[in-house]
Structure 1
Amino acid sequence: MDCRRMLCVLLCMIYMLHVTGLWWAMGRHLVLDPGRICRKTRRLRGKQNLICTKEPEVVTAIGEGSRMGILECQHQFRFRRWNCTTAKRSLKKVLTRDTRETGFVNAITSAGIIFSITQACSYGQLLDCTCERNAPPAALTAAPIQDTAAEGRWEWGGCSDNINFGYRKSKEFMDDRFRRRSDLKTLLLTHNYEAGRLAVKRYMKVVYKCHGMSGSCAVKSTWRKLPLFREVGNFLKEKFDGAAKVMPGNDGQGFIPEGATIKPPDREDIVYTEESPSYCEPDKKTGSLGTQGRHCNHTSIGVDGCELLCCGRGYEAVRRTSRINCNCRFQYCCEVQCETCDKRQTYSRCL
């Protein structure tokens, strides 16, 4: 009897590892190789499978959004020891952990996907989506620009970017397979996905247009439009800097702050459970590529400064000479003649 019970437990563990591996493989493909997210549809179930098989335009927008998120990640971390490199031997390892860097990647990827789906809808690329004509709840509407010089009434009109459609589709695709799971790793992943989606909704802009005779503003129409994605990236970078370290809750269904004096994270916060490595030296286990050879700013005392970026190892000045066109003149008629000059540049590089 004991042997049968042990065999049953072992088989269950193997099954859960297999299924969990498929789920996390999907999450990694969103970041590492967005073009493959629907390649093995026989492994997909539920709404993910339906979107992959019946809504190819949405799948295209998901892939573009994922790439948008990674490009923004690289911009935000371009001066950091970990610079959001897409080298698979690095990023793949980062995504298997639960550090604050992992939380940011998941949040910015999710933000890119909701942004891209909403934008594709506005461009008329999605057949099942139209613009949003209903006024949003007051809690989601930023105050419109006030024009004290012109009187008139405000009317909700125009054709708003349909952020609600983007939110629903991105959530269906990214969260569908996690709905019945409550392990800590899944809770962190879905929480950070949601933080990314809410960041886009938070920065939706209210714009307006005046209507009336002779340039008057008898009626002012308002609608909502997507923000610049850089604004979303800046906001999530702030959330990364203030990310909350959490641990499993007593009920086994959620998580709580690791410190008793720390404020519980809200839905817009990035959460993590593991401390980040220093990323100073190459480490295959953590995915760190080290900072040797990285460019640094020897005049800065910030994160891009040579002292911090080079981890105290020092740096060297590198002189580079390149050939460029110079002293260009227009010759009648009709060509431009240039000389070739040496352009000398000096930069600092970590040892």
Structure 2
Amino acid sequence: MEMRLIFMAICLLLVTPITGSFWSSQMSMEPTLVCKKARRLKGRLGDMCRSKETTLLKEIARGIEIGSRECQYQFKNRRWNCTSLRRSLRKILLRDTRETSFVNAITAAGVTYAVTKACTMGDLVECSCEKIRASGRNEDEWEWGGCGDNVNFGSRKSREWMDAPYRRRVSDAKTLVKLHNNNAGRLAVRKFMRTECKCHGLSGSCTLRTCWRKMPTFREVGDRLKESFDGAAKVIPSNDGHRFVTELASTKPPGRFDLVYSEESPDFCKANRKTGSLGTEGRHCNSSSPGIEGCELLCCGRGYDTRVVKDKLNCQCRFRWCCQVTCNTCLVARTINACR
């Protein structure tokens, strides 16, 4: 529940250009409580509340939580580990770094994913499964049918929720970057739909297959966006003020699937309230790894402390007739390295 409330707050922060005491006091509320203030809300959030779309709001909150968990998985071994602490993440979101691009993209993807899944499960009255396409067969004898994922509806609601407040400011470079990354997140779901089929026929034969479209797993979505994060391009405003271009002329222009950013990231080695960095002091690291989770990189060269802890685990288990399993308790030692 705590994570859900935190990321409902992030959703409001991501999509609302309004700041001030009102939003700061509402960010930890459930959607239904937020909607009690509907007369004071503007834009798409106010529209949803006034039209009693609170079920949709809950699915949006669920999508933000899905995006949050995936972000923390993808960055668990990096200096910036996608912390959910609001005092840190809020500062990250106010900037336009590579990390911000991933948070925006994974959030847009999460909202798309959750709303689409709710449509398929029949949890939303506004939508249903993807409608059956016009029947047509190929040489493999199959036709469209079944209950496909209505990703078009999910993508549209994600766009309405996350993009609408910024559409009037499309000449602002920071807004252009945000909208681009939001769309890249949605595309990571939409463009990698796969076809699943079920066979029909007597005695297990497959004389006819019914096929439908299904979303990829959200882990696949997160993996693709993480690859885009690693190859993200730094951009600057163009001369006409209505688009952005890569900072280096030799850099390939970013495509629709690519993530972009306009500010360099802090090193995240030390705590810094201004940038939102929590530092890496106390973080666990792997002393034998030369990679990003290794103590040398994660601890930023400050060194690390090592301690041995012993865990009580079941061991030497035996089955006794009938029907009981008895185990001894063993102490298993493990080494923990923590950054100084």
User: Any idea what SS the aligned residue of 2:18 has?
Assistant: helix
CA shift for structure 1 position 339: 3.7
Aligned equivalent of 2:65, options 55, 67, 78? 67
Quick one: which amino acid aligns to residue 124 of structure 1? G
For residue 175 of structure 1, the aligned residue among 149, 163, 177 is 163
One-letter amino acid of the counterpart of residue 69, structure 1: G
Q: Does 2:86 match 1:88? A: yes
Counterpart of 2:121 in structure 1 is 123
> Matched residues in 2 for 1:334 and 1:189: separation?
60
The structure 1 residue matched to 2:273, chosen from 264, 284, 287, is 284
CA distance in 2, matches of 1:266, 1:330: 59
> Which residue of 2 is the match for residue 245 of structure 1?
234
Which structure has the bigger radius of gyration? 1
Asked whether the equivalents of residues 152 and 218 of structure 1 are also in contact (C-alpha less than 8 Å), the reply is no
Structure 2 CA distance for aligned equivalents of residues 29 and 155 of structure 1 = 52
- Candidates 210, 214, 219, aligned match of 2:208: 219
Is it true that 1:272 corresponds to 2:273 in the alignment?
Answer: no
Q: Aligned equivalents of 2:276 and 2:149: distance in 1?
A: 38
Tell me the distance in 1 between the aligned counterparts of 2:197 and 2:321. 50
Contact 2:112 2:158 in 1 (8 A): yes
SS in structure 2 at match of 1:89? helix
The structural deviation recorded for 1:295 is 1.0
Q: Aligned partners of 2:99, 2:310: CA distance in 1, in Å?
A: 36
1:137-156 Cα shifts (integer Å, max 9, x gaps): xxxxxxxxx9xxxx642211
TM-score by length of 1: 0.83
Contact in 2 for aligned 1:34/1:66 (Cα 8 Å): no
Pairing partner for 2:289 from 292, 297, 300: 300
Q: Give matches, 1:202-217, under 5 Å.
A: 202-217=191-206
Indicate yes or no: 2:321 matched with 1:323. Answer: no
Structure 1 residues 38-47 or 64-73, which shifts more? 38-47
**Displacement after TM superposition at 1:176 (Å):** 1.5
Within 2, Cα distance between the matches of 1:250 and 1:278?
30
Of 324-333 and 91-100, the range deviating more from structure 2: 324-333
SS in 2 for 1:323: strand
CA distance in 1, matches of 2:259, 2:29: 23
Judged with a 3 Å threshold, the aligned counterparts in structure 2 of structure 1 residues 154 and 333 are, in CA distance, closer, same or farther, namely: closer
Alignment counterpart, residue 104 of structure 1, candidates 102, 105, 110: 102
CA shift for structure 1 position 340: 3.4
Given that residues 285 and 337 in structure 2 are in contact (C-alpha distance below 8 angstroms), is that contact kept between their aligned partners in structure 1?
Answer: yes
RMSD: 2.6
2:48 matched to 1:51? yes
**Which residues of structure 2 form unaligned runs of 5+?**
1-15
CA distance in 1, matches of 2:38, 2:227: 37
Q: Check conservation: 1:48, 1:172, Cα contact below 8 A.
A: no
Q: Distance in 2 between matches of 1:318 and 1:114?
A: 44
Q: Which range moves more in the overlay, 234-243 or 207-216?
A: 207-216
- Distance change (3 Å), C-alpha of 1:308 and 1:259: same
Q: Which segments of 5 or more consecutive residues in structure 1 lack a partner in the other structure?
A: 1-18, 137-145
State the AA in 1 paired with 2:103.
Answer: V
State the 1:313 CA deviation: 1.1
Deviates more, 1:328-337 or 1:155-164: 328-337
Q: Residues 227, 133 of structure 1: CA spacing in aligned structure 2 closer, same or farther, 3 A cutoff?
A: same
Give the whole-Å Cα distance in 2 for the aligned partners of 1:43 and 1:226.
37
Q: Which of 125, 145, 148 is the matching residue for 1:160? A: 148
SS of residue in 2 equivalent to 1:78: coil
Amino acid paired to 1:45: K
Deviation, 1:342, is 2.2
The one of 190, 200, 203 aligned to 2:189: 200
Aligned residue-pair number: 317
**Post-superposition offset of 1:135:** 4.0
Instruction: Calculate percent identity across the aligned residue pairs.
Output: 53
Distance 1:34 1:211, change over 3 A: farther
- TM-score norm. by structure 2 comes to 0.85
Corresponding residue number in structure 2 for 1:20:
17
Q: Write the deviation string for residues 57-96 of structure 1: whole angstroms up to 9, x where unpaired.
A: 1111100000000100000001100000111221111111
- Kept in 2, the 8 Å contact 1:199–1:235? The answer is yes
Say if 1:341 and 1:44 are closer, same or farther in 2 by CA, change over 3 A.
same
Equivalent residue of 1:126, what SS?
Answer: coil
> Which residue matches 2:5?
none
8 Å contact from structure 2 (residues 17, 165) kept in 1: no
Counterpart selection for 1:190 from 179, 199, 202: 179
Contact 1:315–1:348 under 8 Å retained in 2 = yes
Question: Which whole-Å CA distance do the structure 2 matches of 1:237 and 1:102 have between them?
Answer: 12
1:341 to partner: Cα distance: 3.0
SS of 2:17's partner is: helix
